[in-house]
Structure 1
């Protein structure tokens, strides 16, 4: 046999030995009772061989912990009993059944070893129970996460399927309004415009549901950029001006800040203005006015949306930003109860605050703050 071939053979033999060693370790790992038995036998042998002054009872802690963790508490209990008995046994002269001639220090050390064994047993039971609770909690988190993903996917599919016919209906109504199917009377035009606004409101509510569901399950992602707060408010007002006009409600924008530059997610803040204005329009009676005011402090802007509607009952105030919550005072238009909840999510994600001041029959004021510079968090 050539030297090279011989070297390769030797290497293969060593590799086989290593694999056998690890396979044996794996075998022991799959048979924890054997491990416990071997450990107890080794410690017992040391107890027999060594003089009484050598206290090896602390070594029983390892099989106790291993038995409780890998097998069950019953095994751990019996091993603890055996370990305590063996540790105390060597305090006695077995032939005369009397205390052996050992020093007080050795005796008390053995008593301490017994206490340590019992404490280890009870602590290992606690650790096992906590580990089981942690495993169950982790499993629940995984299930909830998966359910959240399924919920988001289902909501997205549902919103998509519901939006398409609404968009089609809006396009058809616009075609009627343009006169492509013949002349439209004033009464018909008004009815078609009402239908169009109702469909747009439905689309807005569907998008709010989808966005809220996504935020709850995946968190709120913000795309910060330098924006003009007055322009954001103006865009939101322009979007809803036709609805407000048909409701005979006037919207006034008052900017009292010296500068309107803010670092924020423009689309999300536009959504806040839209949701608050929609809420104000739905609450406001005809021939009333909604005021949107923008003020500032040293590091933040203060935005108020003030209406002259029916207000909010005092008992409803703590729940006004809750999910799916709708006040007990009747509205002219029902919603999904998510607009204010989503507004709070967005404002708090920006590092601001949002609150409400209201009294019955005296209108509502929504106040939110926005930091001028985005928070590092």
Structure 2
């Protein structure tokens, strides 16, 4: 019997064991009916129906529990009129009604308890799933760090040694091949680093090292870093200051390295969407409360359907971009800008191309009070 009760609790009854539950319920009804109808109505045995209700609610469906509860209450009240040998007094009716209320409350509470158990079981399952997911993410990071990042760094260093002639002279053709292999390995390493950054931001949040930063300096450095890539694709990258033609400073309170990543990500995005011979333009503007950066290209533009998803992770759009990326650059850029208390957006240009921009709160220059 205890094993059956344990299986009821664990919700793993077989068909034969379910039949045993029905048999126990019917037997319980039969015993209580015999006690009810073989004794005067003043003796209320209807309270014993609570055992069958609890047994039904432990494993059977809600409909079955409702049926058992209705049957119990009906049989309890029916004993007032059957067999009808004695006169029924008001106290007897009151006792029967109290028994009916007790049965209804038992059925309600047992059903509510059953729902609570289901909710707890579901929550426990969700918790286990989250714990498994967290473990998988930890394993994922360990794999990226050790099994991918470490060999890539070793391969890049080995290729550098070949290029420097440490293993013998290198012909011009071999040097070009080694340079191509090195660029490929560095691109893969950059993707691994980006995935690691996404994981760190999602789990730990973005930690900023804030200080006064001049966005002009950040933009010029990012453009200089990407000049060779832009030149190889015959794309002009230029910097201007909106309505003004002279160089000025745009100070914000931010993380220099992280803001540099934003510029690099948006510039690479513009270069990837710009056809050969095109232009990517960085426009720096200022207002009373914000420093504004806009990076425009003359590629295929952005459709209205794409706009809501541009800054989601792994989204790459459906345009005719010439070079496929990881789909994480814009996602990371949004995380960085929002961590700085700024706003990032995208829009399609009226003529052709797209504009990606962000704005950050103004910060006084260093030394100003």
Distance 1:189 1:129, change over 3 A: closer
Looking at structure 1, the residues matched to 303 and 74 of structure 2 have their Cα atoms a distance apart, in angstroms, of 72
Matched, 1:101 2:89: yes
Post-superposition offset of 1:320? 2.9
- 1:113 paired to 2:102: yes
Using the size of structure 1 for normalisation, the TM-score is 0.65
Distance 1:267 1:229, change over 3 A: same
C-alpha distance in structure 1 between counterparts of 2:330 and 2:296, whole Å? 15
Q: Which moved more, 1:255-264 or 1:315-324?
A: 255-264
For residues 202 and 150 of structure 1, do their structure 2 counterparts lie closer, same or farther at Cα, with a shift above 3 Å needed? closer
Aligned to 2:219: 233
1:359-370 alignment, distance < 5 Å: 362-370=352-360
Deviations 1:29-85 (A, max 9, x none): x9x99xxxxxxxxxx9xxxxxxx99x9999998x8998789x6559x9599699869
Map Cα deviations across residues 272-319 of structure 1 (whole Å, 9 max, x no partner).
Answer: 111111122223344443222233455443321112234345544443
CA–CA distance in 1 between the matches of 2:195 and 2:230? 23
Residue in structure 2 matched with residue 130 of structure 1 by the alignment: 119
Q: Secondary structure at the match of 1:322?
A: coil
The Cα RMSD (Å) is 4.7
Cα displacement string for residues 170-207 of structure 1 (whole angstroms, at most 9, x for unaligned residues): 6247626xx9976987x988777666555443332332
CA displacement, residues 323-360 of structure 1 (integer Å, 9 cap, x when unaligned): 33333333333322222222223333444332222259
Contact 1:295–1:303, Cα closer than 8 Å, also in 2: yes
* Cα-to-partner distance string for 1:232-279 (whole Å, 9 max, x where unaligned): 323322322332344343333345698633333333222111111112
- Contact 1:58–1:116 (CA<8 Å) still a contact in 2? no
User: Which segments of 5 or more consecutive residues in structure 2 lack a partner in the other structure?
Assistant: 1-5, 10-31, 33-40, 364-369
Displacement of 1:109 in angstroms is 3.9
The alpha-carbon deviation at position 211 of structure 1 amounts to 1.9
- Flag the 1:356–1:169 CA change in 2: closer, same or farther, 3 A: farther
Task: Label 1:66 to 1:274 Cα distance change in 2 as closer, same or farther (>3 A).
Answer: farther
Output aligned runs, 1:27-176, within 5 Å: 72=59, 98=86, 100-103=88-91, 108-168=97-157, 171-172=160-161, 175=164
> Secondary structure, in 3 states, of the residue corresponding to 1:356?
strand
Task: Select 1:220's aligned residue among 199, 205, 213.
Answer: 205
> Equivalents in 2 of 1:220, 1:320: separation in Å?
21
SS in 2 for 1:333: coil
Rounded to whole Å, the distance in 2 between the matches of 1:277 and 1:92 is 87
CA 1:364–1:99 in 2, change beyond 3 Å: closer, same or farther? Answer: farther
